[in-house]
Chain A
Amino acid sequence: MPSSIPSQNIGVCTVILAAVSLLISSSPAEAKPTSASHLQVIPQKIVLRGPYSETRVLVDQQSKAGSPVEVGASSVMSILNPKVAVVDDEGIVRPIGNGKTELVVKYQGLDSKVPIAVSGVMKANSPSFLTDVMPVLSKAGCNQGACHGAAAGKGGFKLSLLGYDPDWDYDAITRSSGARRIARAQPDNSLFLLKPTMGVVHRGGMRFKTDSASYRILRDWIVSGLSGPKSNDPHVVRLEVSPAVRSLKVGNAQRFAVKAVYSDGSQRNVTSETLFSSSDESVATVSADGDAKVVGQGEGAVLVRYQSVVSTARLISPYGPPKTASKVSTGKKYEQTAQSSIDRLIQAKLDALGLQTSGTSSDSDFMRRASIDTIGLLPTPTETRAFLADHDPKKREKWVNSLLVRSEFVDNWSMKWGDILQSSRQKLSEKGVYTFNEWIRQSVDENKPWDKFAQELILAQGDVYEYGPANFYRTAPSPQELAETTSQVFMGVRIQCAKCHNHPYDKWTQNQYYQMAAFFARVQVKRQNESVIYLSNSGEVTHPKTQLAMIPAALDAAPLAKDYHGDRRVVLAQWLTSPQNPFFAKSVVNRVWKHFMGRGLVEPVDDLRVTNPPSNSALFDYLAEDLAAHHFDLKYLMRSILLSHAYQREARSSNGNERDSKYYSHFLFKRLSAEQLQDALTAATGVPEKFAGFPAGMRAEQLPDNSAPSYFLDLFGRPARLSSCACERTDAPNIGQVLHLMNDSGINTRISAPAGRVAGLVKTKVPDNKMVEELYLGALSRYPSPEESRRSAQVLASAKNKELAGEDLLWALLNSKEFLFNH
């Protein structure tokens, strides 16, 4: 029986407490739902066909004000004629015998009835292996990675991971180990049934009981003759989750029902066999049975998985009272710029979530922020003074435009692309790094359209020491790795998992993985000195299980024509960069967006998949389409972002938006990257860092790869460039970094160097307040406030040794969060 008490093992104390709180809070208005509310049972008519059919019943409490709330978990459900159907605690109705009856739902004095019709239940039923048996194994967890789905199996019994290989599973269950798992003459004595029900010792514990629906299906399957998987069995093409979207408050519960749609057009309710999980457990948690509970604010997705197919439903939990979408004219009346579209789409999301925005950042904050993000450098004191003195209302736009054409722009962005393209000596040798970097720098410098950039890499061949992009083929030496790298770098799709089995959180199959790899089957590296990339006339990628040569096919695209004899990569490059590819534009948009805004629309930044929905899908779609429409001009995209209000908001949270870190209601603090921070130290102290093996005066951002030994850069997260994952570069703070900034003898020496900023200012005998101003402009790119100026000047004035006091002041500025972060 369903119970209104959420937990079964509730203690005596809790019950007493609950009673007390009831006494305190029960005012007549709150005690009972208003008479205006009523129950809406979904579906309104239950039709069950066949012995294994089922339907989950959802109960919406509709009230006049606000959106409906699902109360299934706290309702009492019963069935008038239990010989026709039963309903369990999870609200799942299953057939018992043919006939008609009614389901009665009661909740807080309200009730509702829906008719039930059952047909197709016979004495002897024969479940199908694919549609009935396999889902039981998945739901019970038998084929998970920790259990029999492990690469080595468990206890001598191995199933394919999450059931991606039904033929293997059928064989393992019915034939392997001398067919010992099935006893057809005595079905209940089959190991296959005794193990999961703990009839014999099972290290995996009790998976289901002998009176469960799961048991019944497996038993019927044995009795009816162990029918196997058939190639023409319909397979699931799509899952429908209901409700698809729900707006709820913290503390609300919500159940979901899942329907599978098959390749032959048939449909089936599969809720009880579906695996549920939550995309963001700080917003909502969800039990394995699909009972979600809203625990925090924001937007979360409930992920469902059934038979290798995945889908999602959205739960919205507003921070404050949602606003009705502000009417923004979409007509031709106003000029629509990309930045205004960005702001409109962000505003719509913020309104739906009831979030307020922070104010606009100060001129100095904006200037520093845009400069670090665009060219990787702090603005110089001269630039800062000029900018702050400028009264042109368009000065921000002017500043952005000037940054986008600076030569340091090339340093900053070549560093970024060099990371994910793995431009490192370890992979390419020194000469290779040189030509590869030259090509990257040249491409950034001429603002090469991103599609052209990708095409040049994929179609590259020739001498890697002469033709830069050919080095791409040395960063990933096998067709498989090339498929992985290409997918991750240019589509943000991680297909690695599908190398050994179907992707467990995405839709990619093992076949698709090897079809992708087949595009690169004929790329060869000349063995002599490993320096020439060429194409051979033969060579195939074979599937590890079937040993069949794979016909190249891009993800979800048609396979290559059989009579195609040209360079296979041409087809891949065309598909990759075509507007029909949903991932190409999005992947680069997400990277650039994250670079400026501090958080990708999808996180991790290079992990785009159905089960990882973006925080603002309308904005994501818009940006991708807009970029494609502008011929993949990255500077156009950057400019749009830089000029948006969203980018120019204050970092400090206000108006209750401090809990938002996903929807851009305020700017997000970002720690400077390792190289940016090293160069900022140079700017602030006036003493450059010398990198061994590179000419003096070369800045950290200009280093071609990570070969310069530097404890500082490693400590602050410089990547090894041995992986195409953006996660290799980290900005996670740690104690070593803080200690190093505070106490490294090298940094201390730079602060106190005779050629440094402090010594220079003392030498020229500038007045105290002027010295404070110079140190602030140099380190923080702003004037000190009157209060800061007064206090700091006092420190200098009262010091016995002005130079030492100046060093201490600079040290304090360099160790402040304001210096360490872009804000």
Chain B
Amino acid sequence: MLTIRGKANNHYCDHLSRREFLQIGGLALGGLSLTDILAAEAQSGIRSSHKAIIMVFLPGGPPHQDMFDLKMDAPSEIRGEFKPIKTNVPGIEICELMPRVAKMMDKFTIIRSLVGARDEHDATICLGGYSAQETRQNHAPCLGSVVSKLYGAVDKTVPPFVGLSVKMGHMEWADSGNPGFLGMEYNPLKPEGPLMSDMTLNGVTLDRLSNRRQLLSSLDRFRKGVDELKGMDALNQRAFDLLTSSKLVNALDVTKEDPKVRERYGKGDNKNVDDGGPCWNDQFLAARRLVEAGARCVTLGYGRWDYHNDNFKQCKAYLPKLDQAVSALVQDIHDRGMDKDVSVVVWGEFGRSPRINKEAGRDHWPRVSCALLAGGGMRTGQVIGSTNRFGEEPDDRPIDYKDVFATLYHNMGIDINSTPVMDEQVRPHFLLPGHDPIPELI
């Protein structure tokens, strides 16, 4: 396990990735060019092997007892309408509306005793482990920002942190992650708005752009011999690369994928569900493509799960879609040999009340909820924790959101507990003190 450990000035003792090894090897052999190294990497399949996380947020707080923790022995006002089905792991049963996940349960871990939520309708806690309230006070950065800061980009034309959540009626659900005290530089790239429009040519043909580029390089007075500005030259080069053949734009374009694969994910719908997000299965595929292109963290918000009324009707409508998207993504990750490197987490900001209300809905329930985890080299095919017979509280092994984040950082090769994360004023912060990776998973 490669691990970043704490040393005040951002030196990582034993952090030598395969990528670096290849570069060192290249130097030792008498100086391969960067292109050579990239080609060698592509050949050896190293490109897809960087550690990454895909975080699926279910806005509104999904009903844990109707998905992964069915309480068949509870009275009818608690039990709900759905039946459990067997999975391919003996002893683990989940909701009948998720047959695809059930068939590959050996590739998932369910946490049934997730605690630490607040009654807040924000994505924040699912992005960095701290509630919205806590984050307002400590300005803790989200995981994607921290990973961007500690690791930087894999590929210079693909940002390390991409947020796919679209605009939603309830804006707190559309949060893609906040860099907090790390500063704007570590914001997720959101492939929308001005940036996306800057990445495709605006009213200028490719020919004219290449004319302009020639003119620019022939006229620039500081084009040669100014060391300080070499970084700018590299940026210019990358910008032209992006404008002429955009890797990022390609990664986002799921039509470039084999249609069969896209069908397996189920394309979904890019229309928002009420004030929540869309059930847009294509985004799961885009997330995988982005990771392959070099992203380290991709976040997305899927559907709307705040079922104060018609809980069962809505579950019937949306759970099967989620089942398809999640199962396809995790299967795909395994098929491509990325399961040791890419973690997937699916969860919401809290659980839902055991008692079914008059509108056949369930209300907010921050005391316990569920999380679904896969990949990342974690031990899967297990259930961690349990709740009491009505699904009200953890019965054993309460797991905090922050514990899950400590685990996700661990999967990324970061010992977050003892790695100082520097803010803009170069003050060290220790994120998630007192929270360790979940031993059952590592």
Contacts and interface: CB of A to CB of B under 8 A. Distances in A.
A748 B418 contact: no
A732 B235 CA distance: 12
Contacts of B25: none
A791 B218 contact: yes
Contact of A725 (B6, B420, B425, B430): B425
Contacts of B232: 733, 738, 817, 820
A277 to B, nearest CB: 7
A823 B222 contact: yes
Contacts of B216: 811-812, 815-816
A735 B420 contact: no
A813 B222 contact: no
Contacts of A816: 216, 219-222
B424 interface: yes
Given A652-B226, A735-B242, A820-B232, A743 B204 contact: yes
Contacts of A820: 232
B197 interface: yes
A694 interface: no
A146 B414 CA distance: 13
B212 interface: yes
Contacts of B199: 739, 743
Interface in B118-158: 157
A780 to B, nearest CB: 8
A728 B215 contact: no
Contacts of A738: 232, 235-236, 238-239
A730 B235 CA distance: 17
Contacts of B184: 730
Report, as a range, how many residues of chain A touch the other chain: 35 or more
Interface string B192-214: 01110111011110001101100
Given A669-B226, A735-B239, A604 B219 contact: no
Interface in B366-423: 417-420
A496 B235 CA distance: 36
B99 to A, nearest CB: 43
Nearest to B195: A736
A534 interface: no
B360 interface: no
B222 A733 contact: no
A792 B219 contact: yes
B45 interface: no
Interface in B210-253: 211-212, 215-216, 218-223, 225-229, 231-232, 235-236, 238-240, 242-243
B169 interface: no
A711 B215 CA distance: 27
Interface in A728-766: 728, 730, 732-740, 742-745, 748-749
A821 B425 contact: no
A139 interface: no
A187 interface: no
A152 interface: yes
Given A653-B227, A725-B424, A734 B185 contact: yes
A17 to B, nearest CB: 13
Contacts of A815: 212, 216, 236
Contact of A728 (B209, B236, B424): B424
Contact of A145 (B211, B215, B236, B420): B420
B420 to A, nearest CB: 7
B202 A748 contact: yes
Contacts of A698: none
B198 A277 contact: no
Contacts of B215: 795, 808-809, 811-812
Given A604-B425, A711-B194, A146 B239 contact: no
B195 to A, nearest CB: 6
Interface in A217-253: none
A658 interface: yes
Contact of B424 (A668, A727, A745, A791): A727
A745 B219 contact: no
B433 interface: yes
B8 interface: yes
Nearest to A652: B226
A808 B228 CA distance: 26
Interface in A477-533: 494, 496-497
B427 A150 contact: no
A607 B425 contact: yes
B91 interface: no
Nearest to B153: A735
B235 A151 contact: no
Contact of A146 (B9, B420, B424): B420
A811 B212 contact: yes
B212 to A, nearest CB: 5
B219 A813 contact: yes
B428 interface: yes
B439 interface: no
A608 interface: no
Given A734-B235, A808-B212, A743 B9 contact: no
B434 interface: yes
A84 interface: no
Nearest to A504: B428
A384 to B, nearest CB: 16
Contacts of A740: 194, 198
Nearest to B9: A281
A277 B225 CA distance: 34
A658 B230 CA distance: 13
A145 B428 contact: yes
Contact of B239 (A653, A742, A809): A742
A147 interface: yes
A818 interface: yes
A150 B433 contact: yes
A817 B193 CA distance: 26
Nearest to A153: B434
Contacts of A153: 434
A788 interface: yes
B235 A735 contact: yes
Interface string A111-131: 000000000000000000000
A739 B430 contact: no
B222 A818 contact: yes
B434 to A, nearest CB: 4
Nearest to B229: A817
B82 to A, nearest CB: 40
Contacts of B212: 808, 811-812, 815
Interface in A265-282: 277, 281
Interface string A796-823: 0000000010001101110111101101
Nearest to B218: A791
B334 to A, nearest CB: 33
A96 to B, nearest CB: 34
A604 B417 CA distance: 27
Contacts of B427: 496-497
Of listed B6, B219, B222, residue having the most chain A CB within 10 A: B219
Contacts of B243: 739, 742-743
9 contacts: A144-B6, A152-B434, A153-B434, A653-B227, A733-B235, A734-B235, A748-B203, A792-B219, A812-B219
Interface of A: 144-147, 150-153, 277, 281, 494, 496-497, 604, 607, 651-653, 658, 661, 668-669, 711, 715, 725, 727-728, 730, 732-740, 742-745, 748-749, 788, 791-792, 795, 804, 808-809, 811-813, 815-818, 820-821, 823
**5 closest Cβ contacts across the A-B interface?**
A146-B418, A146-B6, A745-B202, A152-B434, A812-B215
Interface of B: 6, 8-9, 157, 183-185, 193-195, 197-199, 201-204, 208-209, 211-212, 215-216, 218-223, 225-229, 231-232, 235-236, 238-240, 242-243, 417-420, 424-428, 430, 433-434
Given A651-B226, A738-B236, A748-B203, 16 more contacts: A652-B225, A652-B226, A742-B240, A742-B243, A743-B239, A743-B243, A745-B197, A745-B202, A748-B204, A749-B203, A812-B219, A813-B219, A816-B220, A816-B221, A817-B221, A817-B229
